[in-house]
């Protein structure tokens, strides 16, 4: 009899889910996503220089696998000031997939070419929206840091170079 009650409960539950509008189901999963908090995983350190003068070192979490690139910094409520995520791009098309969907914190997005030089900075990018897609075939890395840090640290397009060291 107990098994019948459990089975009946499951059938009613799945019927309820399937009868609701997809918007209600999306809200259910959004609520679950709001409960997630992904922890920072240090993979290395990134050093920044301007005209051969070292000026900043930050801890880096790498995103070089497909799933890491897809998730990025989603579901994180904060990031310490001296931290960032470094995306290693294999193909130019990966830039088009970048967005701020399910992001909770505003970011500065720093685009870096294959010579490790900063080629563009997208400052104060708001969370929970799509970002403007850039068209620059020389971009090899994307660095995401807290909003305002590029100004605070003096990161400059065409002048700043970065170097990464795994730990």
pLDDT digits (tens, 9 = 90+) for 36-49: 678 889 999 999 99
Instruction: Supply angle C-alpha 56, 59, 61, rounded to 5.
Output: 135
Domain with CATH 2.60.120.1140 in the chain: 44-166
- The pLDDT assigned to 146 comes to 96
H helix runs in the chain, sequence order: 2-19, 22-35, 66-71, 149-153
Domain 44-166 in CATH 3.40.190.10: no
- The pLDDT assigned to 165 comes to 93
Q: What is the dihedral of CA 68, 127, 30, 83, to 10 degrees?
A: 40
Positions of the chain with pLDDT under 50: 7, 12, 19-32
What residues does 142 pair with on adjacent strands? 87, 111
- The pLDDT assigned to 104 comes to 87
- The pLDDT assigned to 5 comes to 57
- The pLDDT assigned to 127 comes to 86
Q: Which residue, 140, 132, 130, is CA-closest to 92? A: 140
- The pLDDT assigned to 91 comes to 75
């Amino acid at each position: 009899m107990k098994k019948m009650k459990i089975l009946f409960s499951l059938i009613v539950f799945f019927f309820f889910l399937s009868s609701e509008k997809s918007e209600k189901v999306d809200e259910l999963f959004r609520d679950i996503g709001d409960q997630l908090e992904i922890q920072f995983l240090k993979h290395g350190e990134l050093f920044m220089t301007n005209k051969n003068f070292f000026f900043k070192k930050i801890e880096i979490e790498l995103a070089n696998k497909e799933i890491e690139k897809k998730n990025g910094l989603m579901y994180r409520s904060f990031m310490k000031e001296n931290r960032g995520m470094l995306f290693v791009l294999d193909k130019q098309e990966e830039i088009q997939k970048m967005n701020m969907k399910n992001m909770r914190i505003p970011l500065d997005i720093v685009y870096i070419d294959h010579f490790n030089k900063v080629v563009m900075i997208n400052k104060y990018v708001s969370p929970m929206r799509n970002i403007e897609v850039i068209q620059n075939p020389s971009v090899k890395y994307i660095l995401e840091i807290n909003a305002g840090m590029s100004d605070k640290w003096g990161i400059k397009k065409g002048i700043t170079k970065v170097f990464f060291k795994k730990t």
